[in-house]
Structure 1
Amino acid sequence: MSVFDLRLETERLLLRPPTVQDFEAFAAFCADPITMQHLGGVQAKPVAWRSFAGLVGSWQLLGYSMFSVIEKSSGRWMGRVGPWQPYGWPGTEVGWSIASEFWGRGYAPEAARASIDWAFDTLGWSEVIHTIAPDNTNSQVVARKLGSSILRSTHLPPPSEVLVDVWGQSRAQWLAQRR
């Protein structure tokens, strides 16, 4: 079975590796200033393509990356959530980015829980982090819902070098709270 055949399901969501059919929704996501406020800002379509190709490429190179998040009831692409560790990253991250039109419905923590379970169970990670800008209160709420807390602060690798808070928890902490 190819990693591109992988599917995770929650009550309301399907999580799967991105496909080229997801790109137009991804490009619209990258063009939305509200959605992109804490993700480096709006991206022109050619830059969004390179970001998208990076996600797909990580699946090929590492066997994991962020999933496309699909709303089961409508079949709509809603965002990207999942394991992420580009070169030089400060740890084994499960991150989330949901298009602003879907905010406030609990989709980010729902998808992140499934992704964290998968990262610990399948990838064998011992820790999961979330890199969150200090002023990104929405993602801080999601991190708290997941049982994560601030572990440290760091700068993301170039070219951004943005200062972020590193939230997270160990596998043991995750399993203890899931019981």
Structure 2
Amino acid sequence: MQLKPTLETERLILRPLDIVRDIDAVCEAYAHAPTMRYLGGKTMDRAQTWRSIAMMLGHHQVRGYSFLSVIEKETGQWVGRVGPWFPEGWPAPEVGWTIHPAHTRKGYAKEAGRACLDYVRDGLGWSSVIHVIADGNIGSEKTAEALGSRRLYALEDGIPGVTTDLCHVYGQDF
């Protein structure tokens, strides 16, 4: 089955995750402690990363959408994963992002996030969206605000099965 969509921005291609093509770059990101401190707090080895990608692919099968691999047009490099997400137990439909540490501070999360917001509004028919952001993740808070979202509420006990740490929910209506 061909997974969809593929989105394009000025500098990026957003395509479905491909466990074979993407595993090495995702492993690098998930092994980076500063990146993972806001994604449940623990780094992942290759086997754990493989299972994480498989979970996202399964989410795509169940929901019809999931995180997309973000590819830099100029180099073909994997720069992150951005996209729609709404597993069981999540507070509401989300557009989330994780950027590879070699590609942070380039505006990629904002650029890809904007494309995904347009997609969930126009392609999936969502009327609102959230972003669950771990406490202290100033970069993601600034990205959410740049995308037009505002802080809505706190999840004092985190998200069951992911983290017990304080998270903030940002969001917007379309």
Give the TM-score normalised by structure 1: 0.90
Please say if residues 135 and 165 of structure 2, whose CA atoms lie closer than 8 Å, have aligned partners that are also in contact: no
Measure the CA separation in 2 of the matches of 1:122 and 1:161.
Answer: 33
State the Cα deviation string for residues 42-62 of structure 1 (Å, max 9, x = none): 111111111110111111111
Show the counterpart of 2:65: 64
> Is the Cα contact below 8 Å between 2:4 and 2:65 reproduced in 1?
no
* Residue of structure 1 in register with 2:133 after alignment: 132
8 Å Cα contact 2:121/2:127 also seen in 1 = yes
**Contact residue 3 and residue 59 of structure 1 kept, 8 A:** no
Residue aligning to 2:6: 7
CA distance in 2 between counterparts of 1:79 and 1:60 reads 21
User: 1: CA distance between counterparts of 2:97 and 2:60?
Assistant: 16
Gap runs ≥5 in structure 1: 172-179
Q: Once the two structures are superposed, what CA deviation does each residue of 1:76-117 show, in whole Å capped at 9, x if it has no partner? A: 111100000111001110001101111111000000000010
Bigger CA drift: 36-45 or 92-101?
36-45
| Aligned-pair CA distance for 1:68 | 0.3
Opposite residue 37 of structure 1, the aligned amino acid is R
Moved more, 70-79 or 24-33: 24-33
2:18 alignment partner in structure 1: 19
Q: How many pairs does the alignment contain?
A: 170
Runs of 4+ in 1 over 6 A off after TM superposition: none
Matches within 5 A, 1:6-155: 6-20=5-19, 21-40=21-40, 41-154=42-155, 155=158
Letter in 1 for 2:17: P
Deviation at 1:14, TM superposition (A): 0.2
TM-score, normalisation: structure 2: 0.93
Give the drift of 1:159: 4.7
Q: What is the distance in 2 between the residues matched to 1:52 and 1:120?
A: 25
Query: What percent of counterpart residues are identical?
Result: 45
The structure-2 alpha-carbon separation of the partners of 1:5 and 1:159, relative to structure 1 and needing over 3 Å to count, comes to closer
Partner of 1:35, secondary structure, is helix
RMSD value, Cα: 1.3
Does residue 170 of structure 1 match 2:173?
yes
Alpha-carbon distance in 2 for matches of 1:159, 1:146: 25
